[in-house]
Structure 1
Amino acid sequence: MKTESAKNTMHSRTVAFLDDLAEVQWFSQVGKVMKPNDHIETIFVSNWDQAVAHCTSSASDDASVESLNQISMYLHQNHRDAYQLWNTKIAEMKPHIAYLLSNKKRNEAGNENGMPDDLIYKFSSSDMLRICIAFEYSDFYQSRYYSELAYWYLNGHFPCSWVGDVAEDFEDAFSLGKLVVF
């Protein structure tokens, strides 16, 4: 973690995720099929061109935004005091994520596996922030979607899209489609 003070204010799950991300070699397992987590069905793609095609689709952004909306709506309806800290938490996390991404880009990511450099900032940074938000509020709401993204990033893969519908109700959300992973 960039500073010790962040450990005093961020949820321990968020801190652990950022610390783990700092240690893992990003995208080191892309192109290798791995046993999926049992939580969400997974489709593997075999190259960066396919991954980029998926992550630039509107379906990918729609799923990510929908999952974030589920967290914020649940908090707004059930835990307003916690919800009031949303923007403060985001502002606190952004510099830590930017620091981590900057170090990873400079030190390892993309250099050995042909990853387009702009992917780190364009796609991974928003994923990282949203995963951190999900972990910050995980005592109130468990996001299956962001837990899955974290799982794949921490295992050296690039989760790049969602294929299929996203159910409107919280309980069945993300049970109607598949996560696309490289």
Structure 2
Amino acid sequence: MNEVKDFYDNKISKIDFFSNCGDAINATFNVNVTQVRNWVDVEKKVNSTWDNVRLQIRNQLTSTLHENWREGYRQWNNITMEAKLLLKDGVLKNISTFIQENKLNNCIYESVEWDLLTAMMEYAYSTYVKPGFHTELLEIYNSGHIPCGWKGKWPQGSLLIF
């Protein structure tokens, strides 16, 4: 398994979160994207439907690990705790401050936390399962935007970003 600290240090800690929110999307991604207009739209789209899409995707990872690499999967909780601590003591502090200063709904913080944590888990288990959706979400964050929902029925449709 890969060390989540390395991934955090080399990838996540270097992201300039939200720096291009509201600007045109000048990057290409491995998923269709649709841009939303403003933070109000983000708050509306970060909802249970979006949560369910991301949960379904993460469940695919855990199911595959459980079925095929049970010994490695047994480390899930330990890796999760390490990843959560790295995030909490690192970038999530600045994200929390941004959310508060801009009077945004805390659901945005929770959504970002979920995405970052799951991207770290995809990285940790990438020797077993090819990283996927949440690693792609990390590229959206890295571009200065925020993924905030899904338009259409998964997996058809497009990722909503601001």
Aligned mates of 1:115, 1:161 — CA distance in 2: 20
Q: Deviations over 1:133-163 (max 9, x none)?
A: 1111122212431122100111111111122
Aligned mates of 1:52, 1:19 — CA distance in 2: 29
Question: What's the CA shift for 1:14?
Answer: 5.8
SS of aligned partner of 1:39 = coil
Q: Which deviates more from structure 2 when the two are superposed, residues 12-21 or residues 35-44?
A: 12-21
Equivalent position of 2:23 in the other structure: 32
Q: Which deviates more from structure 2 when the two are superposed, residues 11-20 or residues 150-159?
A: 11-20
Matched, 1:81 2:71: yes
Aligned mates of 1:130, 1:18 — CA distance in 2: 16
SS of aligned partner of 2:44 = helix
Seq. identity, % = 24
Structure 1's 150 and 55: CA in aligned 2 closer, same or farther, altered over 3 A? same
Aligned mates of 1:92, 1:111 — CA distance in 2: 25
Q: Which deviates more from structure 2 when the two are superposed, residues 42-51 or residues 16-25?
A: 16-25
Question: Do the aligned residues in 2 keep the contact of 1:162 with 1:177 (CA within 8 Å)?
Answer: yes
Question: What's the CA shift for 1:66?
Answer: 0.7
Matched, 1:154 2:134: no
Aligned mates of 1:115, 1:155 — CA distance in 2: 23
Question: What's the CA shift for 1:38?
Answer: 4.0
Higher RCO (CA-CA < 8 Å; seq separation 6+): 2
Question: Which of these residues, 94, 104, 128, is aligned with residue 116 of structure 1?
Answer: 104
- TM (normalized to structure 2)? 0.86
SS of aligned partner of 1:109 = helix
Aligned mates of 1:14, 1:41 — CA distance in 2: 30
Question: Do the aligned residues in 2 keep the contact of 1:158 with 1:181 (CA within 8 Å)?
Answer: yes
Contiguous gaps of at least 5 residues in structure 1: 1-9, 167-173
Q: Deviations over 1:59-86 (max 9, x none)?
A: 2011110110110111111111111111
Question: Which of these residues, 127, 135, 157, is aligned with residue 177 of structure 1?
Answer: 157
Question: What's the CA shift for 1:13?
Answer: 6.5
- TM (normalized to structure 1)? 0.77
Aligned mates of 2:153, 2:31 — CA distance in 1: 13
Question: Do the aligned residues in 1 keep the contact of 2:151 with 2:160 (CA within 8 Å)?
Answer: yes
Equivalent position of 1:65 in the other structure: 55
Equivalent position of 2:93 in the other structure: 103
Question: What's the CA shift for 1:181?
Answer: 0.5
Matched, 1:23 2:3: no
Equivalent position of 1:53 in the other structure: 44
Matched, 1:144 2:154: no
Q: How many residues align?
A: 162
Question: Do the aligned residues in 2 keep the contact of 1:105 with 1:120 (CA within 8 Å)?
Answer: no
